[in-house]
Amino acid sequence: MFRTLLIANRGEIACRVIRTARRLGLSTIAVYSDADADAVHVAMADRAIHIGGAEARASYLRADAIIHAAKDAGADAIHPGYGFLSENAAFAEACAKAGIIFVGPPPGAIRAMGLKDAAKALMAKSGVPVVPGYHGEKQDAGFLAGEAAKIGYPVLIKAVAGGGGKGMRRVDAPDAFAAALASCQREAASSFGDDRVLIEKYITRPRHIEIQVFADGQGNAIHLFERDCSLQRRHQKVIEEAPAPGMPDDMRAAMGEAAVKAAKAIGYQGAGTVEFIADASEGLKADRFWFMEMNTRLQVEHPVTEMITGLDLVEWQLRVAAGEALPLSQDNVQRRGHAMEARLYAEDPAKGFLPSIGTLHRLRLPEDFPHVRIDGGVREGGQVSMFYDPMIAKVIAWGETRARALARLSRAMRHVEVAGVRTNAAFIDAALHHRAFAAGDVDTGFIDRNLAALVPQEGHAPAEAAILAALFVLNERAAQQGSPQSPWDIADGFRVGGVSTESISLEHGPSKLRISVSRTKAGMRAQCGAVDVPVAAAFSADGAVVATLGGVRHRAAITRIGHEIVVMQSGAAHSFMQPDPLVMEDADGAGADRIIAPMPGKIIQVMAQKGARVLRGAPLVTLEAMKMEHTLTAPADGVIAEVMASVGAQVTEGALLVRLEAP
């Protein structure tokens, strides 16, 4: 085994690799960008080296800077994590040329699977079933439209060099093909430097099932069972689990055999994932799955495999890279129970899952729950940056059965406390509680079909949360006035009639709320709209509160961020603004006549032209943020009065991009 390991990545995966390397007695070296100087992975490593600017292409994608850092630090090996340079054959070759071990497959294996069209042709030749489609070299838009018509709609356009849901579009009708193709090509060029695409038949009830494979340098290759990654949004995985619900044993054996065959066909070494699409329209069957792609790296969802096998896949990676044989043969790999992983993202489901950027003013995760594992790379007080993926942490739960794993994961998500950015915690919990998901009846269209039930309406918060926010304000006032008692424990100083009442004004989105809290000799009462209940509450110094509202006990955490009060309860975070009477409302705020940047990002396309008449929903500006494209559309019919956006410009959240006038 080598002695010193450099991790050419950041965040959660860098922390994950460092933990295993420490256990094996290895010295660790982190690399970091301008944006990550105070990051958790930097603090965890034995040594950290600065490699460039905040944008990935100026730091984590700079192979030369990383190799230079490794050589200067005397690193024996480089672990690329996932993303960035993990599937870059040229980087693997550069490591070898510098005399540094690359913890991953040989460059030839990366190249064989790096281009989806060539990979599918190779798999077909090797006897691995592939999805019907066009995987050729011709990229003329008219020709590709013709191939899509031959395949039959719906079709899926996929970047040849793609991954992680980037450069991928579903197209349901011929008239939408051209626009989808252009968008896909732009995103592919931006993310991978290659705008070539392939066209495939879209399976209407698809299950995304992948097989974890491992191979060593002695010719041994095995699989570590499957993971079901069907719960997706925009082709990005949200919840993963192992084993796949409803999979018959003959299908599991057939998929495992096909995955190992795929790995051996390219002379694979190390950890890899062979991804298949299965047709679930008539239940899972051994003859109804097809090869999609192979990820020649460790996957984000690898912890669910670790949870059911009891193995450390990063340790296996390091041992294989050091020249050791696989620790187990296929017959000795055992699985036990069920595991589920949820990706906790800084994003706002109520606003189309737009990434949420900012400071993590509060971050409390259920790290001490039995059979629950947290893999994270940020900490309270840290930043969710516009430059990288907005994942906060992975929450993984194990159970003896699927139902028990689901219950443990749900309980864990309900104890997530995040303030400062929006998260998808409540959305994940809603998905876990959906009747179809609980029954294992899922496919990749599950979220889209059930979006209305899974995503709470914007601007909606329970009256109980507003009352908790009001009690928090009263508690603050009492503390500021130096009162030795909680405001709801004081039984004197009543007004005429024996009743003292205070009103607290709050805003929740567009809603203006007034909460009245009355104190009598009998106790406290609070009224918010139609809700009028007796209340009692106890606050702790760390922001936790236990309150009884109308005889029902509530546990929550409350944090103030300036004029914002965030009530975190059961995984949801409800934001209330306390109006500042000294600040006048901005009469020129965003409305139906303005297009505002919903987040920081880069303008990559401007469709709006001054003087043009547009209809509601017309695309005006395309913004790239968090490695994804977001198209901003006209909120109403009108005439373009002014265009402030320009291609290539970096804009901040709230920047005015286009102004409309009435037609």
**335 noted as active-site residue:** no
State the Cα–Cα distance between residues 195 and 499, nearest whole angstrom: 71
Helices (H), 322-421: 402-413
What is the rounded distance in angstroms from the CA atom of residue 14 to the CA atom of residue 44?
Answer: 9
CB 43 within 8 A of CB 28: no
Going 98 to 104 to 109 to 115, the CA torsion angle's sign is negative
Active site residue: 111, 297, 343, 373, which one?
Answer: 297
SS (HEC) of 531-550: EEEEEEEEECCCCEEEEEEC
- Of 256, 167, 174, 120, the C-alpha closest to 629 is 167
Tokens 């994942």 found at: 391
Please state, in angstroms and as integers, the Cα–Cα distance from residue 652 to each residue in 190, 470, 539, 645, following that order.
20, 32, 37, 12
**Between vectors from CA 349 to CA 176 and to CA 651, what angle results, nearest 5°?**
75
Angle subtended by helix axes 116-125 and 107-114, to nearest 10: 100
Amino acid of residue 416: V
Q: Is 646 left (phi over 0), alpha (psi -120 to 50) or beta?
A: beta
Residue 515, CA atoms < 13 Å, CB-side half-sphere: 27
Q: Quick one: DSSP state of residue 130?
A: B
Which residues carry out catalysis? 297
